[in-house]
């Protein structure tokens, strides 16, 4: 019974609060092997809602799912040099199989470019075989020294989309489509606004030509890279010899993209919307959207409660009755506030006598008595309102913590005081980027969409584009 | 382009036919690491249909999904002795992580009892916390020396359900429910009849009290264990200390079950229903239920074809148009026969002029001209008929290859000549079972539901129960 333990205050201790929240709300817990995480049913149900939405969007764009093995022979991973260098320090390696030391070591999938593209090179012969648009729902393993539930785990769940196209333009359009799909998911389901743009060379995915990212703001002022979409150019096509005959009969290399979103994004969801009482889930991603708490249920009252549940099920609301024995009403209220259920419905003899139910919003704490004949309308409208309110609150926080700076001393001061995003011009030189990082721990998060150039915040060189800087998870 | 290669004849060379079928129909191919398999989009789409059906049945019975880590510390696997002994020879082991030799080796999940039940012991305190009903969709790794696509691979996809209950009766009911759920799936979706019963001690899951199995018959006469459901008794509860306070305040161990179905079952599906032309997919598991082949499409014809597709989409049929350039009609017919699409629809100028379409059944080869205003009714009835016809054919084959034997010489002869299932009495002594196995390569598949006892086929001891024997994959 975790629900009677007090959470640390979010504003006092963001890390302590977050960790306690994830554990007490039964979203996840630490696995027995260092760095791993157990996704408990309540946390996994949220991931299933994400999967359902993304999978439908992928299929609507003719993306097909497939499954490639978890074991990648070391030699395959070595084919693209930058890719190998990027992932080498993080690998988990199988050296024993079936009681014998293996002749060739097997890497546990850190990402699937190499194993997938080895197949693509066999599958593609003609322009008629293109595009290839394949997605996988699986887990990936990247060794982590420090664990942070959801945000940094050695194994994480994700989807990875991998495409091959006849032209660079088509690949770029697909890279953009994937990011648009993520952006819509973050807006409509996560209620998480964010900044979208290209990464600097240093922050680009190992082996990619360029990386587009969705960056969200966490309370405490750090940024979270929440989804990425990459233009791979022809780097892997060359390494894996993925060629096709075009309509004129010429042999060409394909152009590729890949894009992914992981359970890491759920960490952002919990951290941004949660408060001192626990989670606040946006209705679109709430496994339970409305919880009914009976107050001293008699047989007569039970029928009334069942009818309420049925009315809500009928309009597609994910609703449950908590009739668990041996817990007080107060205990249950705390429990479901901790678990972030958007709407609580309390029903006792008083409510039944009046033909009403009491409803309480998790996001604002507001309550109201609602006539049962108005219930369906009220609840469906309220779910939309709560979804929007959470987005609006996060958008205000993002705006409040996004500043512009034209002076490096001011930049350093701001990054040390209030953190958040700072828009500043940067010349593109990795020396400036590195120095800013070592002096402020802030990195370039992505390019802004501004076309106005200025002087580099560090070296003052002119014609420098504008970038978002922030500290990050 | 695999479609122009001839398949070996199924009756001549069942293994060669099966392998060529899986590769040419683009269901799967070999992964680069020995023993692994790439599940291609067409094969994976079949698995997704299985997942959708099973997942709905699980959730309707209050089973929740979760995710437990792929890495299990060696020490955890050692907690239940029989379990460890059963799986030890098949393990893949990670010894290097993040560039360092690990202090404790990590086993790549061969099955999740140990890692899940370590958590169950923390989660269960009172009878109110029971039952726990959790399922995972993931992959498991068991080292294989020889690979057989779908049927025997080092890594396979599956679901594993793991429950904990207050009483043995409740656990047994859950074990039976899981098997009933599988049986219904095999009947209604796979069109695969089979025998259900308990396994002998030798064939019981490592660590279980008893195992229930669904055994299907493959062409060639071998049996395939297609799904299993286990009564774990209190073996793991004891090893992992999973205790609860019952209503009287007494501390008791929980009773457990686990049950699983894997991509192996798809191997059975392909093998049983396929013929010399390729796959024959039962409509319930066909990613494409009807394929439309245009014959020399003009603009006018295209509108007619699109309308046909729309009519079928409207009634929920999974339908596609194959308008790929550069392939003849004959080539396309071969391709979709190979891929086992239940219904082919050919539309040319002749059909349009008559207000008809030509439909061809994959299972029987029968064709008919159908009025467009009858199309929806005809296709939906036909899909049901094809589903039933495939089941009926498999049921006849199962009956034809199931014999009874009361004499060991006759048993040996039958097992060497015609294979298939033989019902025979067996005393339960593992010495008899082992000898029969070494002399005939047949093993006990499961107990029959007959209550009539007889003399053991091998040692002639009386009061021996009746068992199904067969050679197996």
Phi, psi angle pair for B353, to nearest 5°: -60, -35
Give the C-alpha distances (Å, rounded to integers) separating B41 from A101, A316, B24, B176, B180: 33, 32, 13, 33, 29
What integer pLDDT is reported at residue A6 of this predicted model?
85
Distance CA A231, CA A174 (A): 9
User: Could you say which residues from 195 to 214 on chain B have a Cβ atom under 8 Å away from some Cβ of chain A?
Assistant: none
- Residue A33: which of B48, B67, B73 has the nearest Cβ? B73
Distance CA B29, CA B20 (A): 10
User: Could you say which residues from 100 to 119 on chain B have a Cβ atom under 8 Å away from some Cβ of chain A?
Assistant: 105-106, 108, 115, 118-119
Q: Boundaries of CATH 3.30.110.30 in chain B?
A: 402-470
Which residues in chain B have Cβ-Cβ distances shorter than 8 Å to A1?
125
Spatial neighbors of B77 by CB under 8 A, at least 6 apart, are B83, B84, B87, B107, B114
Q: In CATH terms, is domain B14-273 a member of 3.40.50.880?
A: no
Each residue's pLDDT tens digit, B370-410: 999 999 999 999 999 999 999 999 999 999 999 999 999 99
The ipTM, to two decimals, is 0.96
- Diameter over CA atoms, chain A: 80
CB of B70 less than 8 A from some CB of A: yes
Each residue's pLDDT tens digit, A305-358: 999 999 999 999 999 999 998 899 999 999 999 999 999 999 999 999 999 999
- Specify the pairing of strand A100-108 against strand A243-245: unpaired
Each residue's pLDDT tens digit, A200-231: 999 999 999 999 999 999 999 999 999 999 99
What integer pLDDT is reported at residue B1 of this predicted model?
44
Structure token digits, residue A409:
């001393």
User: Could you say which residues from 120 to 139 on chain A have a Cβ atom under 8 Å away from some Cβ of chain B?
Assistant: 125-126, 128, 134, 138-139
The percent of residues in chain A predicted with pLDDT above 70, rounded, is 99
Q: What burial letters (b/e) apply to B134-168, b meaning 16+ CB within 10 Å?
A: bbbbbbbbbbbeeebbbbbbbbbbbbbbbbbbbee
Q: What is the DSSP letter of B34?
A: T
Average pLDDT over residues B425-429: 97
Q: At what angle do helices A375-400 and A264-273 cross, to 10 degrees?
A: 100
Count of helix runs (H) and strand runs (E) in chain A? 14, 23
CB of B452 less than 8 A from some CB of A: no
Does the distance separating the beta carbons of B65 and A48 come in below 8 Å?
yes
Residue A39: strand pairing partners? A28, B67
CB of B234 less than 8 A from some CB of A: no
Among all chains, which residue has been given the structure tokens 């091959």?
A164
For residue A88, give how far its alpha carbon lies from the nearest alpha carbon of chain B (Å). 8
Average pLDDT over residues A454-468: 97
What integer pLDDT is reported at residue A46 of this predicted model?
98
pLDDT band at B298 (very low <50, low <70, confident <90, very high): confident
Does the distance separating the beta carbons of B128 and A36 come in below 8 Å?
no
What is the value of pTM for the model shown? 0.97
Residue A359: strand pairing partners? A345, A368
Does the distance separating the beta carbons of A106 and B92 come in below 8 Å?
yes
Could you tell me which chain B residue has the CA closest to the CA of A324? Answer: B128
For residue B290, give how far its alpha carbon lies from the nearest alpha carbon of chain A (Å). 18
Distance CA A470, CA A441 (A): 8
Using CA atoms in the order B362, B368, B371, B375, what is the torsion angle rounded to 10 degrees? -20
Distance CA A347, CA A307 (A): 12
Q: At what angle do helices A299-314 and A375-400 cross, to 10 degrees?
A: 60
CB neighbourhood size of A438 (10 A): 8
CB of A418 less than 8 A from some CB of B: no
What integer pLDDT is reported at residue B6 of this predicted model?
85
What integer pLDDT is reported at residue B4 of this predicted model?
54
Domain at B402-470: CATH code: 3.30.110.30
What integer pLDDT is reported at residue B107 of this predicted model?
98
User: Could you say which residues from 322 to 361 on chain B have a Cβ atom under 8 Å away from some Cβ of chain A?
Assistant: 324-326
pLDDT at B32 over 60: yes
Distance CA A170, CA A183 (A): 20
- Specify the pairing of strand B132-141 against strand B155-165: antiparallel
pLDDT band at A5 (very low <50, low <70, confident <90, very high): confident
Structure token digits, residue A385:
């309102």
Distance CA A80, CA A69 (A): 19
Distance CA A335, CA A255 (A): 51
CB neighbourhood size of A231 (10 A): 24
Each residue's pLDDT tens digit, A184-199: 999 999 999 999 999 9
Domain at A283-390: CATH code: 3.40.50.800
Distance CA B264, CA B153 (A): 9
Domain at B283-382: CATH code: 3.40.50.800
Does the distance separating the beta carbons of A71 and B36 come in below 8 Å?
yes
pLDDT band at A3 (very low <50, low <70, confident <90, very high): low
Does the distance separating the beta carbons of A96 and B92 come in below 8 Å?
yes
Q: Boundaries of CATH 3.30.930.10 in chain B?
A: 14-273
Contact B274, B9 (CB under 8 A): no
Contact B294, B321 (CB under 8 A): yes
Judged by DSSP in three states, B226 sits in strand
Does the distance separating the beta carbons of A96 and B33 come in below 8 Å?
no
Q: Boundaries of CATH 3.40.50.800 in chain B?
A: 283-382
- Residue B118: which of A32, A69, A145 has the nearest Cβ? A32
pLDDT band at A4 (very low <50, low <70, confident <90, very high): low
pLDDT at A1 over 70: no
Average pLDDT over residues B96-122: 97
Could you tell me which chain A residue has the CA closest to the CA of B115? Answer: A32
pLDDT at A145 over 90: no
Judged by DSSP in three states, B444 sits in strand
What integer pLDDT is reported at residue B319 of this predicted model?
98
Distance CA B254, CA B162 (A): 12
Structure token digits, residue A114:
């190499």
């Amino acid at each position: 019974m975790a629900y009677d333990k007090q959470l640390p205050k979010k504003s006092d201790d963001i890390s302590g609060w977050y960790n306690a929240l994830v554990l007490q709300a039964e979203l996840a817990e630490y696995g027995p092997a260092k760095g791993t995480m157990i996704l408990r049913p309540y946390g996994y149900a949220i991931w299933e809602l994400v999967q359902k939405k993304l999978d439908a969007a992928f299929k609507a764009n003719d993306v097909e799912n497939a499954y490639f093995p978890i074991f990648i022979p070391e030699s395959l991973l070595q084919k693209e040099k930058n890719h190998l260098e990027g992932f080498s320090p993080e690998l988990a390696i199988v050296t024993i199989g079936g009681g014998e030391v293996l002749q060739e070591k097997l890497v546990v999938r850190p990402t699937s470019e190499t194993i997938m593209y080895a197949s693509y090179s066999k599958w593609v012969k003609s322009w008629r075989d293109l595009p290839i648009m394949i997605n996988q729902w699986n887990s990936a393993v990247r060794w982590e020294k420090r664990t942070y539930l959801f945000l940094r785990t050695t194994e994480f769940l994700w989807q990875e989309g991998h495409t091959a196209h006849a032209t660079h333009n088509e690949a770029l359009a697909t890279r953009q489509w994937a990011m648009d799909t993520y952006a819509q998911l973050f807006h409509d389901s996560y209620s998480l606004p964010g900044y979208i743009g290209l990464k600097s060379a240093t922050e680009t995915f190992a082996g990619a030509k360029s990386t587009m990212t969705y960056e969200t703001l966490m309370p405490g002022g750090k940024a979270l890279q929440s989804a990425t979409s990459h233009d791979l150019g022809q780097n892997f096509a060359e390494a894996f010899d993925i060629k096709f005959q075009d309509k004129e009969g010429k042999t060409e290399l394909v152009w590729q993209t890949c894009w992914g979103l992981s359970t890491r994004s759920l960490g952002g969801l919990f951290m941004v919307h949660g408060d001192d009482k626990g989670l606040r889930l946006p209705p679109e991603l709430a496994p339970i959207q409305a919880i009914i708490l009976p107050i001293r249920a008699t047989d007569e009252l039970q029928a009334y409660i069942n009818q309420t549940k049925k009315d809500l099920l009928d309009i597609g609301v994910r609703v449950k009755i908590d009739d668990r024995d041996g817990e007080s009403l107060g205990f249950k209220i705390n429990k479901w506030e901790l678990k972030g259920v958007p709407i609580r419905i309390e029903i006792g003899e008083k409510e039944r006598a009046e033909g009403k139910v009491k409803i309480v919003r998790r996001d604002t704490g507001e309550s109201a008595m609602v006539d049962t004949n108005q219930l369906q309308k009220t609840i469906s409208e309220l779910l939309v309102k709560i979804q929007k309110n959470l987005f609006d609150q996060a958008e205000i926080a993002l705006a409040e913590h996004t500043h512009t700076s034209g002076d490096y001393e001011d930049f350093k001061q701001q990054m040390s005081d209030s953190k958040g995003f700072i828009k500043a011009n940067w010349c593109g030189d990795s020396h400036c980027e590195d120095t800013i990082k070592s002096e402020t721990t802030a990195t370039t998060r992505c390019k802004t969409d501004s076309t106005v150039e200025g002087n580099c915040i560090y070296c003052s060189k002119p014609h420098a584009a504008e970038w978002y800087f922030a500290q990050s998870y």
